[in-house]
Amino acid sequence: MKQSLSLLLICLFSSVLFGQSLSPGEKFVQPIYQEMPLGAIQPEGWLKHQLQIMRDGTTGHLDEVYAKIEKSNGWLGGTGDAWEETPYWLDGAVPLAWLLKDANLQKKVKKYIDWTIEHQRPSGYFGGITKYEREKDTTVTVKNMKEAGDDWWPKMVMLKVMKQYYQATGDVRVIDFMKKYFQFQLAALKNAPLGQWTEWATSRGADNVMMAQWLYQITKDESLLDLAALIESQSFNWSEWFGNRDWVIWAATYQNGDRWMHRHGVNVGMAIKSPAINYQRTGDEKYLKALKTGFNDLMTLHGLPMGIFSADEDLHGNDPTQGTELCAIVESMYSLEEIASITGDAYYLDALERMTFNALPSQTTDDYNNKQYFQIANQVQISRGVFNFSLPFDREMNNVLGMRSGYTCCLANMHQGWTKFAQHLWYKNGKNGVAALAFSPNILRTTVGSANTEIEIAENTSYPFDDRIQFDLKMKTPVEFPFEIRIPAWCKEPSVKVNGKKVQVENGAQIIAINRKWSNLDQVVVHFPMEVTTSNWGRNSVAVERGPLVYALKIKERWEKGHEATEGDYFSVFPESEWNFGLTQDAVKNPNEKMRVTEIKPAGNDFVWNLKNSPIEISVPGKQIPGWKAVEGVAFQPVTSREGVYKGKVSDKISQLTLVPIGCTKVRIVAFPVVK
């Protein structure tokens, strides 16, 4: 062992001394955590029901209810959609099909995968038949790509679809397909660069880099790392922007058409993972520093209480009346899942948890058939109108709940949020053990230890509503492996017990490892006590939190159905109870004394994210602010003093306000003024 270490040090010293640089493969950093095969995690409880709702709604049937995908689909050889929306949909529908082990949905999505593989051009190019190919009766090659090919961007999404299909099935055709395509791309990018057709490809090149580096981990072909570096060189330099801080300040200041792609919220959500991906390829820790700086700046200047940044469509500051595009949420979630895998940093998992349980649920209807293009933090009315968004739209449809309201990219892309979250509840660690890094009810079936022993771990919980998580292990023979568990940053007094015996654990954001020989029917019980706390947000507003959930004022809802000629049916939602309250200063300072938690009912197998099913309520003292009124449906934040207290007229009467998880609301106040 000492001889090997000495030899390694001599080689490294010699490389420095004689100017020899490490090869791309030697620089490459293996991820701290590896993804589980798709299907190894079986969602249970409320999470399984959420996925079943999606299967029965648009995720399972978008090709039947949305004409753009249904008619003459380009990803099946037709003249219809051959751009991003079909791959977007498949990027959520494929994991859903295997998470639920749904044979019908598997068959449905597989026909797109089969067609794409079977119609890959001899050159390696793939995708819908291009206009040039049809008119010239030829195929795309390296030489004619500039004239004959189509945008690089939608292929990046389809590559993610292929990866998931491979993880579910092990179909070797996928590896051969990707090898051919990446060889083609390495040659073709020199004459038809990433931005040849659109800025979408240059702003989202990290997705392409990520896929080339994923294939490298399987094939060890270093030309894939050369390709990844080439793509990065032709892409927007997000890593540099995140690290130098100017971009996020500039984005907070300007909202004109100049370089708006750098402020586009979905681009930013996708790009969050770019520094981590560059770190993986280079081993240069400057990228990890840039990531931490950029993400912190982003959430400080543009962050909203529900854990996402404003993105309507541009970054737009931290005012609680700004909106966020649904695509930005699901793409940011996926970026954080990838960052967690590469870096093993619990900080990003805490961010993922907050975003998932608070920002995601309220932006779709119970049946998962309608969505908001933009949601607002303090949203006292959902209606047609022109709001303080980057995109007002002439038809004024970007705030309502509709299948085709706003841009339909979100109708196609919203399906990856819950599915990929479920897929990333567990990871494999470097010693062939398991890591529970996000929490929800599920059953994991995998192999562990030096002999790849089969085990099953049932995660019994109703988290995030429950503070107790019980892991029940089953195996035929005892096996030694490390079992890792994330401790959330918000938890002050975590408790971990193995078969009733306490494991020493510190509080704060971290991932602990329990190394032992495990036996059949072993049990790990984790307790994360949830205290009520408050946090400060834009315009001196205050949010109420408990554990991973952020709470909002419970407002009675009145739904109205409407129809717009171009964008179809939609729903507006109006408040049917008073909403203009501030929280008392005493309650904000002493939440555990002044706020009362009531557990209404467990979040069981039939749970739906709505007011009717809210499992928990928090009673909070507040006072009405008579002058706080909606202006054209928007509750602009009252002005406060530097001390964070509203100085205008306030009711003398103290009202006991009922707060529920923000994910259960459609109309709400979540960022409250503070009153005396």
Q: How far is CA 122 from the centre of its chain?
A: 36
Neighbours of 137 (CB within 10 A): 6
In angstroms, the Cα distances linking 413 to 58, 102, 269, 373 are 11, 20, 13, 11
Q: Tell me the residue type at 457.
A: I
Given a cut of 90, whether residue 512 has pLDDT beyond it is yes
Q: How far is CA 159 from the centre of its chain?
A: 18
Q: How far is CA 366 from the centre of its chain?
A: 20
Q: Which of 388, 250, 392, 384 is nearest to 319 (CA)?
A: 388
Q: Express each pLDDT in 277-303 by its tens digit.
A: 999 999 999 999 999 999 999 999 999
pLDDT-derived band at 11 (thresholds 50, 70, 90) equals: very low
Q: With pLDDT > 90 as the criterion, what percentage of the chain qualifies?
A: 93
Average the pLDDT over 438-446 and give the result.
98
Q: Express each pLDDT in 453-463 by its tens digit.
A: 999 999 999 99
pLDDT-derived band at 18 (thresholds 50, 70, 90) equals: very low
Average the pLDDT over 572-579 and give the result.
98
Average the pLDDT over 249-255 and give the result.
82
Least confident piece of the model among 3-12, 139-148, 363-372, 480-489: 3-12
Q: Which residue bears the tokens 């529970």? A: 436
Q: Is 443 exposed, middle or buried (0-12, 13-18, 19+ CB in 10 A)?
A: middle
Q: Is 426:33 a contact under the CB 8 Å cutoff?
A: no
**Alpha carbon distance 592, 596 (integer Å):** 8
Given a cut of 50, whether residue 4 has pLDDT beyond it is no
Least confident piece of the model among 273-277, 390-394, 402-406, 514-518: 390-394
- Residue 44 structure tokens: 């249970």
Average the pLDDT over 590-603 and give the result.
96
Q: What is the pLDDT of residue 258?
A: 84
Q: Express each pLDDT in 30-88 by its tens digit.
A: 999 999 999 999 999 999 999 999 999 999 999 999 999 999 999 999 999 999 999 99
Given a cut of 70, whether residue 13 has pLDDT beyond it is no
Average the pLDDT over 647-676 and give the result.
97
Least confident piece of the model among 79-83, 255-259, 395-399: 255-259
**Alpha carbon distance 148, 125 (integer Å):** 11
**What DSSP assignment string belongs to 91-127?**
HHHHHHHHHTT-HHHHHHHHHHHHHHHHT--TTS--S
Average the pLDDT over 545-564 and give the result.
98
Domains of the chain: 426-461+468-527 (2.60.420), 536-675 (no CATH)
In angstroms, the Cα distances linking 492 to 53, 79, 275, 344, 529 are 35, 57, 31, 21, 8
Q: Is 216:222 a contact under the CB 8 Å cutoff?
A: yes
pLDDT-derived band at 257 (thresholds 50, 70, 90) equals: confident
**Alpha carbon distance 368, 354 (integer Å):** 21
- pTM score: 0.95
**Alpha carbon distance 163, 665 (integer Å):** 35
Q: With pLDDT > 70 as the criterion, what percentage of the chain qualifies?
A: 97
Q: Express each pLDDT in 175-189 by its tens digit.
A: 999 999 999 999 999
Q: What is the pLDDT of residue 1?
A: 38
Coil, helix or strand for 455?
strand
Q: What is the pLDDT of residue 6?
A: 43
- Residue 467 structure tokens: 């503070």
Coil, helix or strand for 17?
helix
Neighbours of 187 (CB within 10 A): 17
* Alpha-carbon Rg for the chain in angstroms: 25
Averaged pLDDT of the chain: 95
Q: What is the pLDDT of residue 20?
A: 64
DSSP H helices, 493-590, are 585-589
Q: Express each pLDDT in 122-164 by its tens digit.
A: 999 999 999 999 999 999 999 999 999 999 999 999 999 999 9
Average the pLDDT over 474-501 and give the result.
97
Q: Express each pLDDT in 615-639 by its tens digit.
A: 999 999 999 999 999 999 999 999 9
Average the pLDDT over 589-608 and give the result.
96
Q: Which residue bears the tokens 């939440």? A: 591
**Alpha carbon distance 334, 157 (integer Å):** 12
